[in-house]
Amino acid sequence: MRSRRHILSLLLLSVLLFGCQNQKKIESDPSSSSILDAENELSGVYYLIRHAEKDRANTKEKDPELNPVGLERAQRWQQFFDSIPLSGIYSTAYKRTLQTIMPTAAEKSLNPIIYKPLDLINDDFYKRSSYGHWLIVGHSNTIPQLTNTLMRTDTLNDIPDSLNSRLYKVDYRSKPATLSLFHIE
């Protein structure tokens, strides 16, 4: 009886040690990161847009506001998203991106979630926005890259500097995810 307990104790200890060693191996293996697991669980719709037209009067201004045309476009974005049940809005902290989404955020009573350019797609993003409809506002060089990341591709290039009407829609409700491109004038 005593040897049986001893054997069971050793067996249990071995299982625990083996399990802990495997857990450490899994955690350190980049191919099994939680981001990759979360990507497979996405079921949301993501609308990605570049900020509206910015004021270019002062070329030294690093954080310009929107010009009058851009403010009008921000209102048109609000009208476009009026019938879409947004779960949340992601925006960089720049004046032009925040001004672009403020009419939509106000209409929907949503506080923008601020992110750093090219640092959005992470575990927190996947946990927070794995389902629902999400608006992501960024820049001519970041929105195509974020769309590439969501679609797990590398085919989209920067948006031309004169183009502020482009909308990328990544839809994970179907498998595989679909990408649609629109111009909202």
Residue 145 has pLDDT above 80, yes or no: yes
Q: Which two tokens stand for residue 58?
A: 């002062």
pLDDT in tens, 10-61: 333 333 333 333 332 223 233 334 444 444 578 999 999 999 999 999 999 9
Compute φ and ψ for 91, nearest 5 degrees.
Answer: -145, 150
Structure confidence at residue 40 (pLDDT): 55
Higher pLDDT, 90 or 26: 90
- Cα–Cα distance, 84 to 69 (Å, whole number): 24
Provide the percentage of residues in the chain whose pLDDT is more than 70. Answer: 78
- pTM recorded for the entire structure: 0.79
> What number does CATH give the domain 41-183?
3.40.50.1240
Residue 175 has a pLDDT of 86
Comparing CA positions, the residue from 116, 124, 174, 173 lying closest to residue 146 is: 116
> Domains of the chain: which residue ranges?
2-32, 41-183
Query: Could you give the dihedral angle defined by the CA atoms of residues 44, 47, 48 and 52, in that order, rounded to the nearest 10 degrees?
Result: -150
Average pLDDT along the chain: 83
